[in-house]
Structure 1
Amino acid sequence: MNEKIILLFHKMHGLGNDYVVINEFEEELIPEDKKSEISRTLCLRGFSIGADGVIFVSKSDIADVKFRIFNSDGSEAEMCGNGIRCFGKYVFENDVLREKKMSVETLGGIKNLVLTVERNSVKTIRVDMGTATFKTRDIPMISDKDEFVDQKIKVDDQVIKLTAVNVGNPHAVIFCKNLDKLSLEELGPLLENHEAFPERTNVHFVDVKSPDIVDMITWERGAGFTMACGTGATSVVISGYRLGVLDKNVQVHLPGGELQITVYEKDDKLGAFMEGDAVSVFEGIMELEF
């Protein structure tokens, strides 16, 4: 016998990267074994709410609150930079946690958020994205190299130079020119599903305008083209800094808007702060049957 629930949800976006946010802080609304399937359904544009992913707000035993995110294909991701900014705004403005500083549990580790609040409205969110790793075993990436930094990889009949890095989830960063002439719909899926990445990867093409300004476009693992990617912007700037082509403070231009990324060094590793806004679009009620 099918079960029906009435679901209260919020629709939010960070630079056009949009999400359905579901509050399960007090009680589980969607059974664990149904989260993937229902997330996939909720994200269907034209047939449901439509989104790049579904975010769940939950209790945490190790942080102030817990963040979970499912991509539009139903896969659960470790972290999402634009998503966690929406999460922080939602948690504060909906009285889950009325703190301007909060620790958030994610599958990619604990992230610390600092909110800029004006008249009870969250204007910007600064996220400590933590430190990155270039170690292929930790990305994960199948390679005979300890690190895959500015190295060549064969994609069908092309050879592409990329840097592989993990900032809570895996990324492939490609520095190039003429992004408008790039075939993202072709290269994105090929790299996302390349045999070198056993857990797939996010893919970013980057045009360096100056040491403190870049343009980038993203093919997101499990979602395809997205208007913005916060972890991706972080991976791009950390990679560019490691390669010596970018400064520590970089403005990243994405199709959906801008992010400010600031690199720091900790214990011989590179980390970064990401800062940007998040927008509440609407809230609604939906009947779900499962």
Structure 2
Amino acid sequence: MRLRIIKCHGSGNDFPLIDARRLALDDATWAGVARALADRRGPVGGDGMLLLTEGDGQYAFGFRMFNSDGSESETCLNGLRCVARAGFAALGIEAARVRLKTSEADVARDDDLADGVYTVRETAGPVSLDVAAWPMRGLGERVIETPIAATGSARAFTAIAIPNPHLVAFVEAVDEAELVAVGGVCEAAPDWLPNRANVSFVATPQSETLRGPREASREPDALFVRTYERGVGLTDSCGSAMAASTHAAGLTGRIAFGTPVTVFNRGGMVRAVAGEDGMVTLSGNATFEWEGAVTVDPATGVAGDLVIERWHNDEIDSWARVADAAR
């Protein structure tokens, strides 16, 4: 099949995006399309695949996200901003309520983070602390600043779903080897965590990791988030991880709820605010890099014959300046 795509990214989290409002494909076919398009060895590549889907009386449009392994995620807040931009353009609007897989979110065009950086504000939640609903077994009703022996790490984790499940550990410095090891344990879907979870190591405002970036930011508080994402692996950016980490910072008293926070990652940054009501607002880029068409065989998970019809070089350059400053 021949599909039109937009290659886009939110805070460095990159995806092929498809307007699927008129495409009647079943979930198994979409999973095959995702494996083909997100394959880094293929012509497109990405952390996953995004779909703009039809709305209804309650929602202006819908959102779906498939990971690179073909599994479907509850949400992806970096990807949601990109789908929101496509939905705004398709419908001629600048704000909407969006249907997600198991929840909903409000999105709106926001003031640009920097010159030439298309920016979307998104509000998601409320977060859930009920780990039995994931399920995460044998650890009680809530996990807040608690070691989880089964991870193989002595670190204290906080468990938050928004609605993707996340394990957040605050650290002085990010040890990527340790993060990959813990993420691999969770990715294996052990009996105590059958649906897996995203794992994030988060550098605190007081850490050496954030001294330079924090001084460069205009917000009084900052976090640096590094995530091992289920279905993806180690990723430069994960929007729901940044949201979960911001809420965890409030929950554990590191940053007061309601405080504007600059959240840095390997792909760039977003602005975030976590409320005591469990809602988290992120404001970040929705950058379009190019538009084109590609042939996909969902059965084999192979893509080919890519034709790029339009480059968005100005947007690419504008975001590169933001990302360079964040690093």
Give the counterpart letter for 2:3 in structure 1.
Answer: L
Alignment correspondent of 1:238: 247
Deviation at 1:47, TM superposition (A): 2.0
- C-alpha change, 1:157 and 1:205, in structure 2 (3 Å) is closer
2:159 corresponds to 1:151: no
Aligned counterpart in structure 2 of residue 263 of structure 1, from 247, 260, 274: 274
Alignment correspondent of 1:99: 93
- Correspondence 1:1-290 to 2 at 5 A: 5-25=1-21, 27-28=22-23, 30-61=25-56, 62-93=58-89, 96-116=90-110, 123-155=118-150, 157-180=152-175, 182-193=177-188, 194-210=190-206, 212-248=221-257, 249-266=260-277, 270-290=278-298
Gaps of 5+ in 2: 207-219, 299-327
Deviation at 1:81, TM superposition (A): 0.7
Deviation at 1:154, TM superposition (A): 1.3
Alignment correspondent of 2:211: none
Gaps of 5+ in 1: none
Give the counterpart letter for 2:33 in structure 1.
Answer: I
Which is richer in strand?
Answer: 1
Structure 1 moving runs of 4+ over 6 Å:
none
Deviation at 1:180, TM superposition (A): 4.9
Between the aligned partners of 1:156 and 1:221, the Cα distance in structure 2 is 14
Between the aligned partners of 1:158 and 1:225, the Cα distance in structure 2 is 17
Deviation at 1:243, TM superposition (A): 0.7
Give the counterpart letter for 1:226 in structure 2.
Answer: T
Deviation at 1:128, TM superposition (A): 0.7
- C-alpha change, 1:192 and 1:287, in structure 2 (3 Å) is closer
Deviation at 1:246, TM superposition (A): 1.5
Deviation at 1:74, TM superposition (A): 0.3
- C-alpha change, 1:177 and 1:132, in structure 2 (3 Å) is same
Alignment partner of 1:145: what SS? coil
Alignment partner of 1:37: what SS? helix
Equivalent pair of 2:96/2:108 in contact (CA under 8 Å): yes
Between the aligned partners of 2:152 and 2:61, the Cα distance in structure 1 is 46
Alignment partner of 1:90: what SS? helix
Between the aligned partners of 2:170 and 2:267, the Cα distance in structure 1 is 20
Structure 1-normalised TM-score?
0.89
Alignment partner of 2:125: what SS? strand
Report the RMSD for the aligned CA atoms in angstroms: 2.0
Deviation at 1:29, TM superposition (A): 5.6
Equivalent pair of 2:95/2:108 in contact (CA under 8 Å): yes
Between the aligned partners of 2:235 and 2:180, the Cα distance in structure 1 is 11
Alignment correspondent of 2:314: none
Give the counterpart letter for 1:15 in structure 2.
Answer: S
Identity of aligned residues (%): 28
